[in-house]
């Protein structure tokens, strides 16, 4: 199967979060809830009862396997943990549990650029062309070239995903996207609009920026993140390659209660590859807020400044999204991979920051935004169940092998009231019922229709993906 929309849920999160912000009251009100924790003497913000109950309901009904929250202010950070790292081991999560943070990685990429600017090693208006190897030409339009800032603020006119992203394993879509493919696409792409004229969220552009910045240093993106950001800020559990300690503390990713694989990144690492903990992300947010003092702060501060041309929305810094709310602004980003969702944000006035991580594909943006501004509503928690109930006997009739083409087979199995699909050479994934014989994937844009013959016997399945309809006959045994 061809993976067409590898970060569509993250994109959807951004739209949902924008709507949440639009519904906020015109005057920004921050409610600071104080308590005395047993381990400390300073008063710190607590998790309001309504939020606690909302999160617990999500855990209880299976919407989220686990949720860990960090609330940051001038007095420090408090942590709240719900759920488990794995449905198999039932081990509880805590602030040191490791999650994939997905597109929050783009803020790291933006800070790497800001650090170069502060040190006088680069300018935001440097042409991308200056950072490319010999023989690679960046596209231009109307005599204008793509600048580094355009890659960071999503106005480069490059698409969200490259057309040559055709992963061998859709459940791990970025793992085999190579440097050659990265540059081949860049050299062959014709821009469809003027550079800087429009915002279009782009995983490709952010990944290209991270790769180009690292290559200019003769380094890898991960090593740049470690050297410039993680080590100076004491983020010992913020890496791409898992350390032994991080492997031990890694939460398993889930979609609708089904375990899914972790995502690995190659040439597009700058778009979403970082893994971290709530404890480390709280340090990261504290440093961005200026609460924790560091030599990196000038670069952090620069990354928060709007770089979008007036008249274009939304406001974006270097990686960060910026939303004006009354007397203050919220600086934020979210993320999502195959089995994880994430949110970090803080008020620009430095009063409060929030981290929310989960090892599920259900959004947590509303939790983060509500904690930053109680006027922002929480989403009601609903059980995460298939949209259409199909009886077990019908599901069992679909079980079997379906050959779509020589050497490529869909193997259908059943786990209780859910179908699982395994394509040749790929990971087993759950599908969800749309009707009695129609099913859809959640992390791959594809649907399946099971077909019966005149005798009412299931004889084939049709895979609908990318505008194609592929029929696979059921293999008789």
Instruction: Using the 3D structure, point to which of 326, 344, 372 is the last residue of a domain.
Output: 372
d(CA 4, CA 218): 32
d(CA 280, CA 298): 20
Residue 242 inside a domain? The answer is yes
Query: Are 318 and 442 part of one and the same domain?
Result: no
Query: Are 342 and 439 part of one and the same domain?
Result: no
* Residues 210 and 109 sit within 8 Å (Cβ to Cβ): yes
Query: Are 224 and 338 part of one and the same domain?
Result: yes
d(CA 110, CA 303): 6
Containing domain of residue 427, as a range? Answer: 392-474
Instruction: Going residue by residue through the chain, which has 477 residues, state the pLDDT in tens, using 9 for 90 and above.
Output: 333 344 444 455 555 555 555 554 333 322 222 222 333 334 567 899 999 999 999 999 999 999 999 999 999 999 999 999 999 999 999 999 999 999 999 999 999 999 999 999 999 999 999 999 999 999 999 999 999 999 999 999 999 999 999 888 888 999 999 999 999 999 999 999 999 999 999 999 999 999 999 999 999 999 999 999 999 999 999 999 999 999 999 999 998 888 999 999 999 999 999 999 999 999 999 999 999 999 999 999 999 999 998 888 899 999 999 998 656 799 999 999 999 999 999 999 999 999 999 999 999 999 999 999 898 899 876 655 546 899 999 999 999 999 998 888 999 999 888 899 998 877 788 899 999 999 998 767 789 999 999 999 999 999 998 778 899 999 987
Tokens encoding 311: 């008249």
Helix (H) or strand (E) holding 111: helix 105-118
Tell me what pLDDT residue 182 has.
Answer: 98
Query: Are 367 and 413 part of one and the same domain?
Result: no
Residue 379 inside a domain? The answer is no
Beta carbons within 8 Å of 42's beta carbon, 6+ residues apart: 75, 76
Q: What is the CATH number of the domain that holds 398?
A: 2.40.128.50
Tell me what pLDDT residue 193 has.
Answer: 96
Backbone φ and ψ of 235, nearest 5°: -90, 80
Tokens encoding 65: 């396997």
Query: Are 265 and 130 part of one and the same domain?
Result: yes
Query: Are 218 and 187 part of one and the same domain?
Result: yes
d(CA 188, CA 147): 18
Tell me what pLDDT residue 222 has.
Answer: 98
Regarding pTM above 0.85, the answer is no
Query: Are 44 and 175 part of one and the same domain?
Result: yes
Q: What is the CATH number of the domain that holds 141?
A: 3.40.710.10
Query: Are 309 and 241 part of one and the same domain?
Result: yes
Residue 59 inside a domain? The answer is yes
Tell me what pLDDT residue 325 has.
Answer: 61
Tell me what pLDDT residue 368 has.
Answer: 97
Q: If we measure between CA atoms, which residue out of 13, 5, 9 comes closest to residue 321?
A: 13
* Residues 114 and 300 sit within 8 Å (Cβ to Cβ): yes
Give the CA angle between residues 279, 285, 290 to the nearest 5°.
125
Residue 3 inside a domain? The answer is no
Query: What is the biggest distance separating any 2 CA atoms in the chain, rounded to whole angstroms?
Result: 75
Number of domains the chain is built from: 2
């Amino acid at each position: 199967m061809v993976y067409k929309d590898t970060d569509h849920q993250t994109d959807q999160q951004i739209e949902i979060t924008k709507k949440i912000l639009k519904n906020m009251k015109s005057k920004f009100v921050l409610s600071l809830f104080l308590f005395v924790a047993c381990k400390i003497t300073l008063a710190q913000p607590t998790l309001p009862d309504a939020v606690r109950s909302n999160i617990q309901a999500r855990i209880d009904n299976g919407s989220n396997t686990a949720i860990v929250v960090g609330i940051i202010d001038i007095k420090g950070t408090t942590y709240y943990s719900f759920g488990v790292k794995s449905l198999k081991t039932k081990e509880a999560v805590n602030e040191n549990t490791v999650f994939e943070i997905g597109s929050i990685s783009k803020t790291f990429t933006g800070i790497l650029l800001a650090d170069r600017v502060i040190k006088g090693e680069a300018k935001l208006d440097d042409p991308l062309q200056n950072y490319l190897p010999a023989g690679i030409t960046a596209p231009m339009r109307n005599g204008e070239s793509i600048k580094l800032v355009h890659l960071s603020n999503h106005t480069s006119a490059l698409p969200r995903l490259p057309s040559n992203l055709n992963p061998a394993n859709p459940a791990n879509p970025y793992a085999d996207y190579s440097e050659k493919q990265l540059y081949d696409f860049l050299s062959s792409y014709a821009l469809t609009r003027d550079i800087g004229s429009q915002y279009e969220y782009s995983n490709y552009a952010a990944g290209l920026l991270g790769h180009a910045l690292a290559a200019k240093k003769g380094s890898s993106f991960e090593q740049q993140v470690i050297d410039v950001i993680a080590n100076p800020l004491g983020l010992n559990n913020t890496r791409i390659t898992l350390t032994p300690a991080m492997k031990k503390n890694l939460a398993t990713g889930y979609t609708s209660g089904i375990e899914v694989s972790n995502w690995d990144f190659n040439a597009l690492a700058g778009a979403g590859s970082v893994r971290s903990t709530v404890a480390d992300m709280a340090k990261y947010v504290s440093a961005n807020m200026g609460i924790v003092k560091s030599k990196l702060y000038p670069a952090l501060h620069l990354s928060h400044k709007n770089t979008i041309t007036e008249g274009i929305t939304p406001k974006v810094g270097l990686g960060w999204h910026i939303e004006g709310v009354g007397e203050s602004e919220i600086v934020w980003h979210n993320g999502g991979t195959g089995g994880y969702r994430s949110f970090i944000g803080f008020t620009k006035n430095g009063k409060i920051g929030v981290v929310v991580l989960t090892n599920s594909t259900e959004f947590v943006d509303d939790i983060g935004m509500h904690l930053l501004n109680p006027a922002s509503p929480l989403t009601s928690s609903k059980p995460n169940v298939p949209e259409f109930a199909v009886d077990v006997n019908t599901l069992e009739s679909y079980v079997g092998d379906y050959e779509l083409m020589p050497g490529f087979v869909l193997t259908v199995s059943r786990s209780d009231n859910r179908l699982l699909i395994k394509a040749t050479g790929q990971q087993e994934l759950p599908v969800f019922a749309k009707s009695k014989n129609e099913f859809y994937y959640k992390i791959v844009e594809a649907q399946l229709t099971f077909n019966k013959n005149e005798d009412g016997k299931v004889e084939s399945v049709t895979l609908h993906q990318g505008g194609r309809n592929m029929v696979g006959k059921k293999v008789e045994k």
